[in-house]
Amino acid sequence: MTIWLADLAWVDGAVRERVALDIDAAGHLAAVTSGAAPGATSGRRIKGLVVPGLANLHSRAYERAMVGPEGMDRCLAVLTPDDVQAIAAQLYAECLLHGYTSVAAFHALHNAPDGRPYDDPAEMALRIVAAAEQAGIGLRLLPVLHRHGGFGGAPALPGQRRFIMPVEAYGRLCQDLAEYAPVGVAPHSLGAVTPAELQAALVIADLLGPTTPVHIQAAAQEREVADCLAWGGCRPVQWLLANAPVDARWCLVHATHIDAGESRALAASGAVAGLCQTSEAHRGDGIFPLLPFLQDGGRFGIGSASHFSVSPVEELRWLDYLRRLEQRRRTGVPAVAGASVAARLLAEAAAGGARALGRPAGAIAPGLLADLVVLDPEHPTLVGRRSEALLDAWVFAGNATPVRHVMVAGRWVVQHGVHVRGAEIAAAFSRTMRRLADAL
């Protein structure tokens, strides 16, 4: 057992002083005690405010190497397994430095550039596992099942050849990868799998275990909604809710274009809406109806998707600011009793992200993993703030990260604002980016 004594920690919805954190050998919080008397514990001191780390619930790692979708096909044509590992490790280190402590890797890049499987079909996915281990971030690996180029089993496009995998091979891949990392299933979207293939993916999920996460992109763009209506006579989220066992283990990523009925039904299902605001804004896809969804009791988490930002607080800012712009008001997401807007956003995103990853985390409480972020109260963004005002300032003020230390499952991976393997990871990333620049 290791004991740390935090000057301040956000526990049970409030910033509390002198919090003793007992962490067991498996990296779980065995006990959390607020108001520990001076000298009552021999724990080592944590200077700063300790908050729970957040989950990045939707990450397509290789896109970190792309300026935008314009360069995707060219970049896909030259990416090697070594490249993918270097890119993912750099991405995950950056995520940790900003306060993410775990990631759901929506991993679709299975094949060689010519579309043929590698000698080991798990080659690319294992590079994601290696990158997560190198960076020290918590991982939920989501191999993606991508079969078609549109609704109704339309043929895949040439640029999708690195993604395509037969269902049987996909099942074997998921089973094999489960020996190396926690695995979920990810049918890419209703346009990329047929109903029968979606059902096959759910059978694979059940074989992996009854709580295996299921992630699917849905209703990201208006065209997708129109195509789904033309194919099946209903909207994507409507179709899923009517034809699939959507429940608390599901994460519907984006879900941008849902109507009031879909919002109510999605909230009632217990599924998590995976909101990637900076990526969705970059593409101009639309705005998720967050306020009615929250009123219906909906759960959400945040993700960086294409990684135009790797900052969880920037995702949270956009969640609030878009609502302000929609309503033309100086308040967006409403606060709840006893908590500020920032505190509500952080609490709900942390809990929703942990649920989407199936990871026992998302709060500072006994039994959960010690996924902890330490904020520097002397950082210019936070200095002079007290209590919840520290959270408000972190979310809404400044762009430089005030993250001082980061712990994942009881192990420090960022110390004094520096990733413990940052130099090594950055050097490999630099080599990769220079090679890609030459190749493109």
The verdict on residue 389 lying in a domain is yes
Residue carrying the six token digits 């593409």? 283
Look up residue 378 and give its two tokens: 């002397």
Beta bridge partner(s), residue 300: 273
| Structural contact between residues 246 and 269, judged by C-beta atoms closer than 8 angstroms | yes
What CA–CA distances, in Å, run from 44 to 19, 106, 136, 169?
11, 37, 22, 49
Distance CA(432)–CA(268), nearest Å, equals 45
Query: Which residues 6+ apart lie within 8 Å of 147 measured at CB?
Result: 153, 156, 164, 165, 167, 192, 193, 194, 197
Q: Looking at the structure, do residues 252 and 343 belong to the same domain, yes or no?
A: yes
How many other C-beta atoms are found inside a 10 Å radius of the C-beta of residue 68?
11
Please give the average per-residue pLDDT across 116-137, as a whole number. 98
Question: For the domain that residue 398 is a member of, what is the CATH number?
Answer: 2.30.40.10
Residue 287, classified by CB atoms within 10 Å of its CB into exposed (0-12), middle (13-18) or buried (19+), is middle
Beta pairing, strands 418-419 & 411-415: antiparallel
Quote the percentage of the chain above a pLDDT of 70: 98
Q: Looking at the structure, do residues 116 and 178 belong to the same domain, yes or no?
A: yes
How many other C-beta atoms are found inside a 10 Å radius of the C-beta of residue 121?
18
Residue carrying the six token digits 């639309």? 286
Q: Looking at the structure, do residues 207 and 271 belong to the same domain, yes or no?
A: yes
| Structural contact between residues 98 and 135, judged by C-beta atoms closer than 8 angstroms | no
The whole-number pLDDT of residue 355 equals 98
Range of the domain at 25: 2-52+375-422
What CA–CA distances, in Å, run from 58 to 110, 144, 303?
17, 12, 5
Closest CA to 201 of 191, 305, 348, 213: 213
End position of a domain, from candidates 306, 325, 357: 357
pLDDT at 39 over 80: no
Query: Which residue has better confidence, 303 or 339?
Result: 303
Q: Looking at the structure, do residues 68 and 212 belong to the same domain, yes or no?
A: yes
What CA–CA distances, in Å, run from 326 to 311, 318, 333, 392?
23, 12, 11, 21
Distance CA(99)–CA(379), nearest Å, equals 15
The verdict on residue 345 lying in a domain is yes
Q: Looking at the structure, do residues 336 and 409 belong to the same domain, yes or no?
A: no
The whole-number pLDDT of residue 336 equals 86
Residue carrying the six token digits 């280190």? 93
Question: For the domain that residue 203 is a member of, what is the CATH number?
Answer: 3.20.20.140
Query: Which residues 6+ apart lie within 8 Å of 80 measured at CB?
Result: none
Q: Looking at the structure, do residues 73 and 214 belong to the same domain, yes or no?
A: yes
The whole-number pLDDT of residue 62 equals 94
Look up residue 48 and give its two tokens: 């700063």
pLDDT at 411 over 90: yes
pLDDT at 70 over 70: no
| Structural contact between residues 143 and 173, judged by C-beta atoms closer than 8 angstroms | yes
Q: How many residues does the chain have?
A: 440
The whole-number pLDDT of residue 27 equals 98
Quote the percentage of the chain above a pLDDT of 90: 92
Q: Looking at the structure, do residues 271 and 415 belong to the same domain, yes or no?
A: no
- Among left, alpha and beta (phi > 0; psi -120 to 50; other), residue 369 is beta
Look up residue 52 and give its two tokens: 């729970």
The verdict on residue 363 lying in a domain is no
pLDDT band at residue 318 using 50, 70 and 90 as cut-offs: very high
The verdict on residue 341 lying in a domain is yes
Q: Looking at the structure, do residues 33 and 60 belong to the same domain, yes or no?
A: no
Report helix, strand or coil for 269.
helix
The verdict on residue 36 lying in a domain is yes
The strands making up 214-218's β-sheet, listed across from edge to edge, are 186-187, 138-145, 100-107, 54-59, 299-302, 272-275, 250-254, 214-218
Q: Looking at the structure, do residues 262 and 312 belong to the same domain, yes or no?
A: yes
Mean pLDDT of all residues in the chain? 95
pLDDT digits 0-9 by tens, 139-178: 999 999 999 999 999 999 999 999 999 999 999 999 999 9
pLDDT at 398 over 90: no
Cα 74 from chain centroid (whole Å): 26
The verdict on residue 80 lying in a domain is yes
Ordered DSSP codes for 56-67: EEEE-GGGGG-S
The whole-number pLDDT of residue 71 equals 65
Q: Looking at the structure, do residues 268 and 404 belong to the same domain, yes or no?
A: no
The whole-number pLDDT of residue 40 equals 63
Closest CA to 311 of 420, 400, 418: 400
pLDDT at 422 over 90: yes
Structural Rg of the chain based on CA atoms: 21
pLDDT band at residue 37 using 50, 70 and 90 as cut-offs: confident
Number of domains composing the chain = 2
Report helix, strand or coil for 172.
helix
Q: Looking at the structure, do residues 240 and 111 belong to the same domain, yes or no?
A: yes
pLDDT digits 0-9 by tens, 203-246: 999 999 999 999 999 999 999 999 999 999 999 999 999 999 99
The verdict on residue 439 lying in a domain is no
The verdict on residue 8 lying in a domain is yes
Q: Looking at the structure, do residues 7 and 127 belong to the same domain, yes or no?
A: no
pLDDT band at residue 76 using 50, 70 and 90 as cut-offs: confident
pLDDT at 67 over 60: no
Beta pairing, strands 214-218 & 138-145: unpaired
The whole-number pLDDT of residue 41 equals 64
